[in-house]
Structure 1
Amino acid sequence: MAFARVVDWFIAPHLAKDLHTRKRVQMFIISHIFGPFIATPIPLFLWFADPDPWPHVLILAAAIYGFWPFLALVKLFPRAYTLLAMASVTNLSFCILWGTYNYGGASSPFLVWFVLTPLLAFMYMGSSWTARVFVLAQITLGLGGLYGVHVYGDFPEHIAIENMVVAGVLSALGANIYVFMMAAYYSSVVDSQSELIKEIGRHQYTLKALTSAKDEAERANNAKSDFLAKMSHELRTPLNAVLGYAELLLEDAELDGRGEQIADLQKISAAGKHLLAMVNDILDISKIEAGKMALHIENVDLHDLIDEVASTGRSMAAKNSNSFVIERGDDLGVIRADATKLRQAVFNLLSNAAKFTHNGTITLATRRDGSWIEIAVLDTGIGISREQQSMLFSNFSQANAKIAAVYGGTGLGLSLSQNLCRLMGGEIEIESEVGRGSRFTIRLPVRVESAAAVPQNNSMEEKLTPAEREFLDEAEDDQQSSAGKAGSSEPLEHDKRQRILVIDDDPNFLDLAERLFVRENYTPICSDAPQSALQLARTVKPAAIFLDILMPGFDGWDVLAALKADPATADIPVIMISILAERGKALAAGADGIVMKPLDAAKVKATLAVLKATRGRTKDAAV
């Protein structure tokens, strides 16, 4: 509408931002456009009816037409709007009081216009205390002045009161037209506000519905995460037995030279490990989604980390006849991060690159970029289209069905890696082109901060050399098959049959552990009763205690606390055994290490080697 555009042209942008202020200014502009036209018949009548109209009629006319300049003033000085509104109301009061004084006094037909003073003042300025005091002052001073003239003076009689009938009709008509116009506009404002209130009500109802749906979705997601965690735990328990017995049978078959059984058992072991890795990924993802994944922040030497993953990366690359290249940036130094989770993310990227690249090159590139570190895995494999890249980091998603059918996989690795990096304040970025390869880049801050990180105070790990730390890291990581190569099968001391106490509520695991420790030249003492652990430890004085965490009733944490609180058992090394990766919590609770299920020879050798080296150095220092 053209008139609406004209009105809006006078309104400054800062006044139009607030809806209520905008409506007030619109009311001000509309009333000042039409007000003088509505009041024009009154000075015209007075000019012809008054025998001597000079100068009071001209002064009244000047005051009436003086409302128009306020339009220009609002446009030029928008920040003085409140002062202009007060000046306009004051001018209106002057017009009414001047006409009343000169024509009729207290009986003047023009006095009816005075009801517009508070109406327009509140419409222009709102119901603030400033507006209230101002309106009260206008009414009090104006009417008080008229009464004072009536008591102490005389009103001039330019036109006899009986000849003011036409002026009274014109005054009443003008005032009613003016009030009608303002009321109609105010009614439209109220209607629009009512529609706005209804719309707000509809939005609030929609918001409540969305909030309810969000809460329901969060409950469903939490239930799903809890289900995945419980199912992962239930799946891993029998898998521990499958892998443990497969390893024992495989060692027997190798000793006896049964070639056919060796191949079958290797397939069973490989399939079990693949399934276990998938279950581990599901468990980690469910923990991240449930907000229960804690970071174990420590100093990580990037050169050492690259060396650790290089041997595994080379073996992965060699399976499909790929060459493996390492590119190290200058001044990599040490960063603060969760080494296990960072290593896991890098391994996942290397595994993907090796899987989708044949007779090509896989490159591991690392560089430091100010307060950030970048670890990139580049390959010359099949590449990924731009449309497929958007799905890569979703759970159970792969580039497409054909690739999944040819190369296999569950679609969890990249999603888990991305979540782990985001947990550490970083991100995985991708650049890829079909047929030319891909580049996955891990970007992490040099100092990862996390309130969930568990401190390492007073733990055995702080005393380890880099080589011994590597043993323990390899013992914890299920995916590193090279861990056993660094270990030693020697007992803690020179006694060839030292005792090892094993506490676990699973009879199958105890059977496996007993056979495994016997093979490693120890005397295992196994118990499925955690309540008797303290008494057994006092009696047999074992060289080390292997203690399961998840046990009904009296769990591993309770047993560990009891062992460390008793002077007779406080110095016995305790190794926690767990399906869950709770290394930081175990070390902070006083344990000397942690190994992940399933328990195999590689992990036992690595863990016992670390214990042997640490205790040997402690004795040398004492001497």
Structure 2
Amino acid sequence: MEKINIFHRSPLAQDQTVQLNMDDLRGRLVQRLALLVLAVAQLFILFYESATPFPLPAMTLWLMLTGLGIGSLTLSGRAPRLARHLMVWGLTAVLLYAMVYLPAAWLPFVGVLLIFCQAILVQGSEFITGAMLAGTAVYLVTMRSYPYPLAGILTNLVLAVIIAWLTIRALYTALDWLSKTQRRAEQLLDVTRSQQAELRSTVKSLQITNELRLQAERELLIANKQARESQRMKEQFAANISHEFRTPLSIILGFSEVMYLSPEVYGGLAWPPKLYRDVSQIYRNSRHLMSMIDDILDLSHFEMTGFTLNKQSTELEPLLQESLGMVADLFRNDAITLKAEIEPDLPPLELDRTRMRQVFLNLLNNACRFTEAGTVCLRAFQHDGEVRIQVVDTGPGIPEEQLARIFTEFYQVDYSLSRKHGGTGLGLAICQRFVQAHDGRIWVDSILGEGSTFTIALAVEEPVPGGQLYRTRDLNARPSGKLDPVLVVDPDPSVTSLVQRHLPDYEVIPLPNGAELDVQVAAHHPVAVVWNVTPGETPPAPALAMPVPVITCSLPSRTWMADAFGALACLNKPINFEQLNQYIDSIGGVANLLVVDDNSGICQLVERGLAARSDQLTVRVAYDGESGLSAMRQQPPDLLLLDLIMPGLNGREVFDIMQQNEALAQIPVILLTATDFISEQFAGQNSQLTIHRSHMLQPLELLHCIQPILKVLQPPYGNLLADAALGEPEPIIKEVA
């Protein structure tokens, strides 16, 4: 095995690498030349013809060549540098001796080959050898009148020296380039190894992170479940305990109310003033406690079961005036003034009147309780496509740092005020839930010491004209970016590609056959199954019973052509070699393949495409049908690639002739053609489009299906009129739709 010495990282190391590779090349060349010299010496002495036995020049030349070969072989392993010089100057001496004592006209021209070898073995020796050979040739011609073509010899020697020198330069350049390339490859290898290590580390980190994520998700799910269970239990407990409190409290409140408001029912009993004041305290605090329990019950009910809204088209001004009337008694104190600023002609809103009335009452009640003097104003106006309702007071205001928590359950701004003015911290939380249920917003703006403004924003909905239906969203919408899948059943990938091009808004999933259709339907939940069949055929009955619509159609398929001929398969040009290799593997034992195609480029393409199988597969070519049949008769191939359209015998005729020969009829055939040819072959057959669904189509669905079909199936009245005008009426063929 050849070895290339590589030292890298520095220019000095690079020079050493080039020199080592050059020395290795020279050593191998010396060994081969030594063996060649020995062989030439023996052949020379064997076939040399002379009038005298064992002539001295011939024997001397034989001894010189034999000694040179043996000496160079011996020294090549111990002293390679000395062996190179011995080979260079020994060959020079042998050639000079032969020119002197064996005056053959061709001997000087051997120096051309010698110069090339010496240029490789010893740098610069080509100049010395060339000069010596040229000088010797001139001497022998001028002094001894040897019949050498001096001009030709000198020209060849000069050209040989120049070319040898340039060749050696190119060789050094190639070795230098090889060294740089190898060094660059090693650097890239080091980088790749480093990146692979980083990648492995990253993958390991990702695996650990993924495991931690999965563990965190499991823990989060458990924690979420526990939190939901804890919340449910808390809400259930609050509801239960509030309900238990409310039952006895309602009795206390009822009796205290009778004693405080209607003492006469107890007859002519005179109530002491102290007792009457005590009963009044019981009555007021019972009402306060009942209000708190009602708030807790409402909140727990919302948390557990939610609540429904009974929305109605509502004129906002009457609802606001009604709310103002209900709280008017709270503002009898001369220190607080209740005002209303309601913009006229507000648009009607879709509201649950009871829920929104409760929101307005809560806000007005809070404003009254926390405003000791000044005004409370209820405003309503339209702004940026919304109706805004504001409750503005001149109370103490809310600190800025507490505004973010004002709508939190049980949160109170100041507990001393709470004790002074009452409240549970639930009213604003309930208001927020009701407003958000109406797709609205509620917020508060406040300046400490000046007052607060609570604002409700409700969107104005455009009226929907009567008698029209609108679907605002797909009830079965898939995740964002996920296309609806469509299963296409056909073994021909070109059919799937055709469907995908014309259905860009769907994910087309190919199925070579319907054997696993039920599994694929369960896995992908497609919106439909497109089953491509030969005209006149139908899918099997189990497929038509699927819970998904099955669309049977007849799109041009290479499978049709293969079935029509009885061939193994049909491939489009240009050939898909992945498919071709799959077919070769499925046949098994294919060692001899014949390509019959009048296009030499296709034949060459097949040879190139199957080059990876060259060690186990022989590819033969024939450029017409006759040649193909002749090649098959001489040596039947294991597989035939047959072009359908050829001059002379076309593919169909070749196939028919093969079927008449028992031996040739057994050869597997793969047809080569184009999609257009398939369409032409089956153009005369009825195409079809049938929709099957396991449950009935509703009339509206049928009408929706008919509309796009009518846009596609335009009657060919123009063709029929033209045929009638020519006097060649054609029978009308019904399309199956």
Shared fold (TM-score, shorter chain, > 0.5): no
Q: Which has the larger radius of gyration?
A: 2
Band the TM-score falls in, shorter-chain normalisation: 0.3 to 0.5
- TM normalised by structure 1 equals 0.43
Greater relative contact order (CA < 8 Å, ≥ 6 in sequence): 1
